Amino acid sequence: MGFRYEFRLSGSGGQGLILAGKILAEAAAIYDDKNATQSQSYGPEARGGSSRSEVIVSDEEIDYPKAVNINLLLCFTQEACDKYYKDIQENGILLVDSNYVTNVPEGEFKVYSLPITEIAEKEAGKTLVANIVALGIITELTGIVSKEAVESAILSRVPKGTEELNLKAFNAGFDRAKTLK
Amino acid sequence: MQKINRQDAKLMTGNEACAEAAIVAGMRFFAGYPITPSSEIAEVLSRRLPQEKGVFIQMEDELASMAAIIAASLTGVKSMTATSGPGFSLMQENIGYASMAEVPCVIVSVQRGGPSTGLPTLPSQADVMQSRWGTHGDHPIIVVTPSTVRETFDWTIKAFNFAERFRVPVVVLLDEIIAHITEKIIFPKEEEIKIIERKRTKETPETYLPYKYTDSDIPLFADFGSGYRYNVTGLSHDETGFPTNDPKKIDNLYRRLNQKIERYKNEIIEFKTEFLEDAEICVVAYGSSARSTYRAIRQTREAGIKVGIFQIFTIWPFPYEELAKVSHHIKKFIVPEMNLGQIAHEVSCATRCDVIKVNRVDGGLITPDEILERIKHVSV
């Protein structure tokens, strides 16, 4: 079977994880010309409650659209981290926002713990764009989608008037991740 | 909201593809009451329909939504509504009315767990039987079950074509996975899209009979408000559209209503198979369970197990004969469904074989592993 890469972005409702997933999928499927799906699981609440967004990137048709053997797990809450870290595959990546996740699990995966929300506030001036900062980090850490593709996808998906803010947040995350390698 | 340029590949959800396809099919009237997980269909159409000089109405409830699309369709406009389990229940009475009065219309139901309010945000396939038998009485209805965003686009257009051609309500039965999944869609080319319009009468208003017998079993239509006056009723009626108690006329009506689907079922039923030629095990699947199945059988084939899939696109009328044809060399059938086995029984009826059920009703999508395990278990 062909190449298949699974992302799970997890946290709570309102943190922009579904949008981040859609941007990632659009970058891969439209601008990088691979196949990608994004799906989600969330509760009946508009905010709060657990939220999870999954992106599959592949070079062939994607049948099953859910993540089962995660290559990269992003966690914005301790609860999500505790629940999902066991699904990371060997040599996969766990990325956590250290502002929310303090108890980081250990396993056969690489751990990156970064103050994502704090970076959003300091570098872009708004905690709101923490999801986009995380996208920047993910883009650089995984190399699955190109930087240009994600930037194009951000411009097509974020609300009008917030393009600059979001690109700034994306680059802040991307540059921070460079220092980790 | 910008109009979609269908020359390019797009990343969209099943709900968005459904709304866009409806517009391509010529739908210009939507009445609905938004409900998770179908709400985006209403949301998209509330912006798109005015751009196409169509009408969008948010109604007070689902009973009224269904009534409104029937009335709009009677004036000659292709009409639809979109809902989920609880709303679909409320629409059933008027779906029966559309079946009886032979009014073309499309109802999209994005299934969620039930009964009652159930599981609003989680996937389910619990309305398969409701889509067929939700309204009372022997009635004609067509139900389609796509499994990808592109299939949702294609089958929404086909749903309108069926509705127009056979003058029946048609249900596009989606589930949350397909409705909310965002994936790449490459649109069919303009010339590949076939659009069917209802056949209209050539009679004058003076001689027109709304339910006059035709060789095709499908009466010819006259747009309400165009000078043709006729009666529309949910009571059993004769060719004039007025109620009748004549046993012969009643019998003719009910038999014709059901026969008009039965006699054309070979032109309606569609399915897809993979690896079935030499298979000993066949997985029968529809909707998002089919996606899990494809992954499972592709993995099992690599392990040398002879397994194939029979994916159903038109769940009603059910492909009994088509399944029976493939059943000769099949030892076991497996039916994965996000319900407690609504289609498994039909598969067993069609094939007269042992059917193994794989069911989930906890709000989770059936995983390829769950199907795989069952395949391995029966192949031993």
Query: CA-CA distance, B6 to B229, in Å (whole number)?
Result: 41
Interface contact B184-A29, CB threshold 8 A:
yes
| Closest B-chain CA to A63 | B291
Whether residues B182 and A30 touch (CB distance < 8 A) is answered with no
pTM above 0.90, yes or no: yes
Nearest residue to A173 via CA among A124, A100, A103, A110 = A124
pLDDT tens digits along B150-173: 999 999 999 999 999 999 999 999
* Among candidates B180, B184, B369 on the partner chain, residue whose Cβ is nearest the Cβ of A39: B180
Q: What is the pLDDT of residue B96?
A: 98
**What rounded mean pLDDT belongs to chain B?**
96
pLDDT at B4: 75
Residue of B nearest to A38 (CA): B182
Q: What is the pLDDT of residue B159?
A: 98
Q: In what order do the strands lie in the sheet with B10-13?
A: A110-114, A88-97, A70-75, A4-12, A50-58, A35-42, B182-185, B10-13
pLDDT beyond 90 at B351: yes
A122-179 per-position pLDDT tens digit:
999 999 999 999 999 999 999 999 999 999 999 999 999 999 999 999 999 999 999 9
- The answer to whether B121 contacts A42, with C-beta atoms less than 8 Å apart, is yes
Whether B379 shows a pLDDT value over 80: the answer reads yes
d(CA B223, CA B299) in angstroms, rounded, equals 53
Q: Given pLDDT bands bounded at 50, 70 and 90, which one contains residue B213?
A: very high
Token pair, residue B44, equals 């998209």
Q: What is the CATH number of the domain that holds B45?
A: 3.40.50.970
- What pLDDT score was predicted for residue A46? 64
Distance from CA of A18 to the nearest CA of B (A): 10
Question: Which one-letter amino acid corresponds to residue B216?
Answer: S
Q: How far apart are CA B331 and CA A121, in angstroms?
A: 62
Q: Is residue B6 scored above 90 in pLDDT?
A: no
- A25/B365 CB distance under 8 A: no
- Please check whether residue A31 touches B, CB under 8 A: no
Residue B318: strand, helix, or coil: coil
Look up the CATH number of the domain holding residue B305: 3.40.50.920
Nearest CA in chain B to A67: B367
Q: A79-83: list long-range contacts, CB under 8 Å, 24+ apart.
A: A79/A12, A79/A50, A80/A10, A80/A11, A80/A12, A80/A50, A80/A52, A81/A10, A81/A105, A83/A10, A83/A50
Q: Which value does ipTM take for this structure?
A: 0.90
Give A 46-105 residues with CB within 8 A of chain B: 62-66, 68
Last residue of a domain, one of B192, B222, B240: B192
Write out the H or E segment, with its range, that includes residue A82. Answer: helix A78-84
Set of chain B residues whose Cβ sits within 8 Å of the Cβ of A47: none
Q: Which of helix, strand or coil describes residue B363?
A: coil
Tally the domains of chain B.
2
Tokens of B152: 């949702």
Contact A30/B367, CB-based, under 8 Å? no
The minimal CB distance from A64 to the residues B182, B183, B368 is found for B368
Q: Chain A: residue nearest B183 by CA? A: A37
Whose tokens are 């074509």? That residue is B161
Q: What is the CATH number of domain A4-176?
A: 3.40.920.10
Hey, what are B107's tokens?
């109802």
Per-residue pLDDT, A84? 95
To test the contact with chain B by mutation, choose from A33, A34, A59, A66 the residue with the greatest count of B C-beta atoms within 10 A, namely A66
pLDDT at A162: 96
> Is pLDDT at B1 greater than 90 in this prediction?
no
Q: Is A16 exposed, middle or buried (0-12, 13-18, 19+ CB in 10 A)?
A: buried
3-class DSSP state of B297: helix
Does B122 sit within 8 Å of A25, measured CB to CB? Answer: no
Same-domain check for residues B282 and B187: no
Task: Give the largest CA-CA distance in chain B.
Answer: 71
- Interface residue B294 vs chain A (CB under 8 A): yes
Phi and psi angles of residue B245, each rounded to the nearest 5 degrees, phi first = -115, 10
- Looking at chain A, which residue has its C-alpha nearest residue B288? A64
Q: Does A29 touch chain B (CB under 8 A)?
A: yes
Query: How far is residue A177's CA from residue A28's CA, in Å, rounded to a whole number?
Result: 19
B283 touches chain A (CB under 8 A): no
- Which residue segment(s) compose the domain that B34 sits in? 10-192
Cα B226 from Cα B8, distance rounded (Å): 40
The residue among B143, B175, B192 that closes a domain is B192
DSSP-derived 3-state class of residue B367: coil
Residue B148 pLDDT greater than 80, yes or no: yes
pLDDT digits 0-9 by tens, B309-333: 999 999 999 999 999 998 888 999 9
**Which residues face A70 on adjacent strands?**
A88
pLDDT in tens, A54-100: 999 999 999 999 999 999 999 999 999 999 999 999 999 999 999 99
Of B162, B192, B222, the one marking the end of a domain is: B192
Task: Give the span between the Cα atoms of A60 and A2, in whole angstroms.
Answer: 6
- pLDDT, position B223: 98
